[in-house]
A = this chain, B = another copy of it.
Amino acid sequence: MLTVCLAGTGGTLPLSDRWLTCCWIEDGGKAILIDCGEGTQIALKQAGCKLSHLEMLLLTHFHADHIAGLPGLLLTLGNYGKTTPLTICGPKGVQDVVQSLLIIAPVLPYPLVFQELSAENAGFSCWGDVQGSCIPLSHGVPCLGYRIDQHRKPIFNPQKAQALGIPPKLFGRLHSGQPVTLADGREITPDQVLDGARAPVSLCYCTDTLPIPEIARFAQGADLMIAEGMYGEDTMREKVQEKGHMLFSDAARLAGEAGAARLWLTHFSPALEHPEDFIDGIQEIFPDAVVGTDGMRIVLGQKTDTK
């Protein structure tokens, strides 16, 4: 299961009633943060995210509204007693950019580990069963979209196991993919009791970008797609085209093409005071679209998650 919290939903600059877009992904006391604009540390605390759980920071790109909160967050993690490493992933040059910002936070009580990502080096491990990947987006500067997948065990069939006379205490080992030897000497392999693979729990996060078709392929089958909608009106096409952004309708169309289970829109222009006004038209394109609000959260991969 992945708990996902959209702690902020703004683009360009922080507002008193809308934090800058960022996303918190957590499972088992370990957390990933995507992007860290000015004020993100406050947004996370308001949304109930435990900063002490942070293991990995993924930066989409180096525009200030996605990274300016980094020195403050890193210092606050130190003040909270962090001593374990923090991994920071981002486009080419991530280490130089972060080091440049850290002129005002030169001493941290924990190590930073940098990982440069690109089309050629797109995969990365988060922890345990959680893996990440990225694609280059189209924003005028190097910018990455991220996907987080939590792999799940295949489906275990207890009827098959019982028919083979396997004691229940060995079910767990077989479900984990290990063969077992029974008391009568028979060796049982996992494929004898498993019904097939389950899709991973998946989140896809894409801001800031033009609506390139690669996004739909990258987000294929995601349980949750979080994508930017800079404006709700299609009349803003020229403006977003020039600045390298998407409209609500672009995100909805891509979510549909991806076969995503749901779409959360985010990264609203400061000029867009009431993004919720545009949801009806967007749900005609993709019914499971919602307009993001600061602090909204979901647990993906629960048994009750029928999407």
Please, what's the 1-or-0 string for A61-80, where 1 marks a CB less than 8 Å from any CB in chain B? 01111011101100110010
Q: In the assembled complex, which residues on chain B have CB atoms less than 8 Å from the CB atom of A75?
A: 13, 64
For residue A16, CB closer than 8 A to chain B, the reply is: yes
Given contacts A64-B71, A64-B104, contact A42 B39 (CB under 8 A): yes
For residue A160, CB closer than 8 A to chain B, the reply is: no
Instruction: Apart from A14-B72, A64-B105, list 20 A-B contacts with CB within 8 A.
Output: A13-B41, A13-B72, A13-B79, A14-B39, A16-B42, A16-B46, A37-B72, A38-B72, A39-B39, A39-B42, A62-B104, A64-B71, A64-B72, A64-B104, A65-B72, A68-B68, A68-B72, A97-B103, A97-B104, A100-B100
A96 to B12 Cα, complex, angstroms: 25
Q: In the assembled complex, which residues on chain B have CB atoms less than 8 Å from the CB atom of A104?
A: 62-64, 67-68, 97, 101
For residue A45, CB closer than 8 A to chain B, the reply is: yes
A65 to B147 Cα, complex, angstroms: 33
Please, what's the 1-or-0 string for A26-43, where 1 marks a CB less than 8 Å from any CB in chain B? 000000000001110110
For residue A15, CB closer than 8 A to chain B, the reply is: yes
Distance in Å: Cβ of A183 to nearest Cβ of chain B? 60
Which residues of A (187-201) have their CB < 8 Å from a CB of B?
Answer: none
A64 to B241 Cα, complex, angstroms: 35
Closest to A20 in B: B72
Task: Kindly report how many copies of this chain are found in the complex they form together.
Answer: 2
A79 to B65 Cα, complex, angstroms: 13
Q: In the assembled complex, which residues on chain B have CB atoms less than 8 Å from the CB atom of A69?
A: 38, 68
Closest to A105 in B: B64
A103 to B97 Cα, complex, angstroms: 7
Q: In the assembled complex, which residues on chain B have CB atoms less than 8 Å from the CB atom of A64?
A: 71-72, 75, 104-105
- What are 19 A-B contacts with C-beta separation under 8 Å? A12-B79, A13-B41, A13-B79, A14-B39, A14-B42, A15-B42, A37-B72, A38-B41, A38-B68, A38-B69, A62-B104, A63-B104, A64-B72, A65-B72, A67-B104, A68-B68, A68-B72, A97-B104, A100-B103
A101, A103, A105: residue with the most chain B Cβ atoms closer than 10 Å: A103
Distance in Å: Cβ of A269 to nearest Cβ of chain B? 11
- Pick from B15, B42, B103: contact of A62, CB below 8 A: B103
